[in-house]
Structure 1
Amino acid sequence: MWTVTWSVWVPLVFGSVFGQRQQRPMFTCGGNITGTSGLIGSQGYPGVYPPNTKCVWRITVPQGKVVSLTFRSLDLESDGLCRYDYVDVYDGFVNSQRLGRFCGTARPGALISNHNRMQVVMVSDANTAGSGFLAGYAAVRPNARGERYCGGLLDKPSGTFMTPNWPERDYPPGVTCSWHIIAPKHQIIELKFEKFDVERDNYCRYDHMVVYNGAEMSEATRIGKFCGDSPPAPIYSDGSHLFIQFISDLSLTADGFICHYTFKPKNSTITGSPVPVTAAAPTTAGPIALAYSEALCKQKCKRSGTIENHYCLSNFVLTGTLVSAAMREQSVLATFSITNVYKEGNLSIQQAGKSMSTKVTILCKKCPLVRRGLNYIVMGHVDEQGQGIVSPQNFVMPFKTKKQKDLAVLNNVRC
């Protein structure tokens, strides 16, 4: 007998003098669900689900547990990008990360939330329909073992992880996978990518993979953000944890990637990778000015240091074309059309289609001296409102194509 605490029970009476012999749950359109285990299903399952509906199930399990959702049956209109009828699974309720979007008849592995809540949304359009879905949910321990759709805890001395569907077909749209690799104390983690093919974009805004030092995601611990078809150079952790997240949007997909990891002694020699390099200390020591002052702008305007030794102390690093420059008392409000972003921080960036721009205040109108229509490498700081600030201490220089390779190497530097 199935047990569904929130659904309506309808008896199925067989031709018997003994009356009721079996019961089947009737699944309705969404609901708020609590408990440690149970079933959810599309409206009317196993009958054909209705057209033009959106049903939302909110699952809550006890604190200290996470939700594991396993599809027992899936039969929705099939489409490569799941644009018509689909089931979305989210890691939480409001503004939460989508774990995956599913349609057709291929069932994914278990989907695991990061906390004690999960939301399931089914949408149908006006046309083709099937029997919908049936899924079981259960409260499990965080990082519990078992087959899952993607992501998970990896703590063996070596292993492999990959995007869903690898290598048979492209990774699916609308998916998020998170891997947490844990080595013993006094060991570090090496990542080597055998193959890598993720939707290409200059800023990796769409499909991308991000690697973080430590067990959590934060801008301060980000090692690199990757997309395109060039495998990243080998990556090494600072300590015994790495966190890797892969995200695909709902448009183009590609082959994906396969990556091998290995634990190594902390003091072992690492060769062949620019990633673990730490940039040298900049020659411009001391606090960076974020406001105009007469004394600041009386300093001799002479760029010192190199791209490498300014990179880590800059909040943002970009290349772009100066499209406008407006005087603001003794400062200049400069607008750059962005060519590439190597370090974003909290810089406010405006986007229109695939064009990106940002406004930067150059505190001293003659230092650095910039001209409209020219291309620049710009390194600077960001104030509390997300406004880019460039003072004479920051690094700005005309951009030449030969510098692109140097910047690409710095994009992998751990600061």
Structure 2
Amino acid sequence: MWSVTWSLWLPLVFGSVFGQRQRWPAFLCGGNVTGSSGLIGSQGYPGVYPANTKCVWRITVPQGKVVSLTFRSLDLESDGLCRYDYVDVYDGFVNSQRLGRFCGTAQPGALISSHNRMQVVMVSDANTAGSGFLAGYAAIRPNARGERYCGGLLDKPSGAFTTPNWPERDYPPGVTCSWHIIAPEHQIIELKFEKFDVERDNYCRYDHMAVYNGAEISDTSRIGKFCGDSPPAPIFSDGNHLFVQFFSDLSLTADGFICHYTFKPKNSTVSDSPVPVNTAVPTTPGPVALAYSEALCKQKCKRSGTVESHYCSSNFALAYSEALCKQKCKRSGTVESHYCSSNFVLTGTLVSAAMREQSVLATFSVTNLYKEGNLSIQQAGKSMSTKVVILCKKCPLVRRGLNYIVMGHVDEQGQGVVSPQNFVMAFKTKKQRDLAVLKNVRC
């Protein structure tokens, strides 16, 4: 546990005017860090960081200030989705939003917290490469001006904001950006999107951009939630505040967006601009709920779906998964024998896997789709992906970066579900012809 002020660490980092050799503090694996400014670094920096580690730094600055974190050096194993070695930065300690995930050598702009706490997590796998990272933190005033990674306060009469990396390359995975736009009193704010390309999903559950009236996130004040490659219609605020948030998960990414904002008099006509469509799942007003329940209960009582399809929404999931996953893991049958009984059949590459207690939320980059059913497919440019819940994390055992044939069922939300009884195997080229033949079979 340690803290160090800028005045103390500057000589250690940069040496002296007499050309002495650089000296570094002994960086440990995480710790609680306090003070108005200081330095953190990966374990052993500037030496090669160790393998198979997870280090957590919790930074706290004085009350009334926020944390600004600036990377001075970044050198981790490079991967487009930062799946192996990476640094995560969070806006707080517990259940907080991730501000960004970083790897490779490209240094982002300053990351700013909402309050006086920030958490930095570095994870490495079995194969390491590079010297890790060196970052300085400082306590600054809320809404202080300056260059930053993404998001911030916008209060000029007009301007523009973009997703990170725009327009050179796709926005990064695992990032949350928030822009707070403030106009003078008695004025409103207009947003116009010049370009828009965010991972597509019917319900915008993954990568998305949301716009809110006011200065904070609230379901009641949300104007719209958007994804896909069609720019939203012009958006107008009710008052002089708008809050815009962009979120990307850890799978597919896309070009992103550029948005222009303008302040206008409150009595400006907006009749020529259609109200934006909320592409999120709509909320149902209270009075409708009773009518809905009456209609629902008049329907014929008939059980639908399977144990697997109801797994994620059921309170009995834990007990079920414990019993299910204790069974011997052995694949039975063939591609042909499982084809007609499966709701979906695809070949693809496992790009990410988020571990849960018993299960895995897996993201597959789809190579070929032989049987789609109601499976929800996300699309970013020419790339397609889908999310699949593997009920038992060790059965079938899958590894990221490898190609698979995946068969399973689809739940009511369009998400794929794979149990030990479903058919999953490593993809082999000779199976491609068999699948092409099965695609024309009438089940």
Do Structure 1 and Structure 2 share a fold, with TM-score over 0.5? yes
The amino acid of 1:182's aligned partner reads I
2:353 is matched with: none
Partner-residue secondary structure (3-state), 1:26: coil
After superposition, give the CA deviation of every residue in 1:77-132 in whole Å (9 maximum; x if it has no partner). Answer: 00000011100000000111000000000000000000110000000111132100
Distance 1:24 1:239, change over 3 A: same
C-alpha distance in 1, partners of 2:136/2:63? 19
Distance 1:268 1:276, change over 3 A: farther
Query: 2:140 aligned with 1:140, yes or no?
Result: yes
2:385 is matched with: none
After superposition, give the CA deviation of every residue in 1:227-260 in whole Å (9 maximum; x if it has no partner). Answer: 0000000000000000000000000000000000
1:275 is matched with: 275
1:65 is matched with: 65
Rg: which structure is higher?
A: 1
C-alpha distance in 1, partners of 2:122/2:114? 21
RMSD of aligned alpha carbons: 3.4
Q: TM-score, normalised by structure 1?
A: 0.65
C-alpha distance in 1, partners of 2:85/2:22? 32
The amino acid of 2:106's aligned partner reads A
8 Å CA contact 1:4, 1:25 repeated in 2: no
Q: Percent identity?
A: 81
Query: 2:109 aligned with 1:109, yes or no?
Result: yes
8 Å CA contact 1:212, 1:218 repeated in 2: yes
The amino acid of 1:118's aligned partner reads M
1:193 is matched with: 193
Query: 2:150 aligned with 1:150, yes or no?
Result: yes
Distance 1:22 1:53, change over 3 A: closer
Q: 2:301 aligns with which of 294, 308, 326?
A: 326
1:356 is matched with: 412
Please report how far the alpha carbon of residue 213 of structure 1 lies from its aligned counterpart in structure 2 after TM superposition.
Answer: 0.3
1:399 is matched with: none
C-alpha distance in 1, partners of 2:170/2:72? 23
Distance 1:216 1:122, change over 3 A: same
Distance 1:127 1:140, change over 3 A: same
Partner-residue secondary structure (3-state), 1:288: helix
After superposition, give the CA deviation of every residue in 1:309-332 in whole Å (9 maximum; x if it has no partner). Answer: xxxxxxxxxxxx99x7429xxxxx
1:388 is matched with: none
8 Å CA contact 2:5, 2:36 repeated in 1: no
Partner-residue secondary structure (3-state), 1:220: helix
The residue correspondences of 1:173-212 to structure 2 (distance < 5 A) are 173-212=173-212
Please report how far the alpha carbon of residue 271 of structure 1 lies from its aligned counterpart in structure 2 after TM superposition.
Answer: 3.8
8 Å CA contact 1:175, 1:248 repeated in 2: yes
C-alpha distance in 2, partners of 1:97/1:355? 28
Query: Quick check: which one's helix share is greater?
Result: 2
Q: How many residues align?
A: 295
Please report how far the alpha carbon of residue 273 of structure 1 lies from its aligned counterpart in structure 2 after TM superposition.
Answer: 1.9
Partner-residue secondary structure (3-state), 1:356: coil
C-alpha distance in 2, partners of 1:72/1:21? 18
Distance 1:219 1:133, change over 3 A: same
1:123 is matched with: 123
C-alpha distance in 2, partners of 1:338/1:115? 42
C-alpha distance in 1, partners of 2:86/2:56? 12
1:288 is matched with: 287
Please report how far the alpha carbon of residue 222 of structure 1 lies from its aligned counterpart in structure 2 after TM superposition.
Answer: 0.1
C-alpha distance in 1, partners of 2:104/2:170? 15
C-alpha distance in 2, partners of 1:252/1:46? 32
Please report how far the alpha carbon of residue 68 of structure 1 lies from its aligned counterpart in structure 2 after TM superposition.
Answer: 0.3
C-alpha distance in 1, partners of 2:219/2:200? 22
The residue correspondences of 1:5-404 to structure 2 (distance < 5 A) are 23-275=23-275, 288=287, 325-326=300-301, 355-357=411-413
Please report how far the alpha carbon of residue 289 of structure 1 lies from its aligned counterpart in structure 2 after TM superposition.
Answer: 7.5
Partner-residue secondary structure (3-state), 2:24: strand
Distance 1:66 1:251, change over 3 A: same
After superposition, give the CA deviation of every residue in 1:181-214 in whole Å (9 maximum; x if it has no partner). Answer: 0000000000000000000000000000000000
The amino acid of 1:121's aligned partner reads V
The amino acid of 1:253's aligned partner reads T
Partner-residue secondary structure (3-state), 1:262: strand
Please report how far the alpha carbon of residue 64 of structure 1 lies from its aligned counterpart in structure 2 after TM superposition.
Answer: 0.8
Please report how far the alpha carbon of residue 23 of structure 1 lies from its aligned counterpart in structure 2 after TM superposition.
Answer: 4.9
8 Å CA contact 2:49, 2:128 repeated in 1: no
8 Å CA contact 1:51, 1:129 repeated in 2: no
C-alpha distance in 1, partners of 2:73/2:123? 16
The amino acid of 2:158's aligned partner reads S
C-alpha distance in 1, partners of 2:90/2:22? 34
C-alpha distance in 2, partners of 1:290/1:188? 34
Please report how far the alpha carbon of residue 5 of structure 1 lies from its aligned counterpart in structure 2 after TM superposition.
Answer: 6.1
8 Å CA contact 1:190, 1:236 repeated in 2: yes
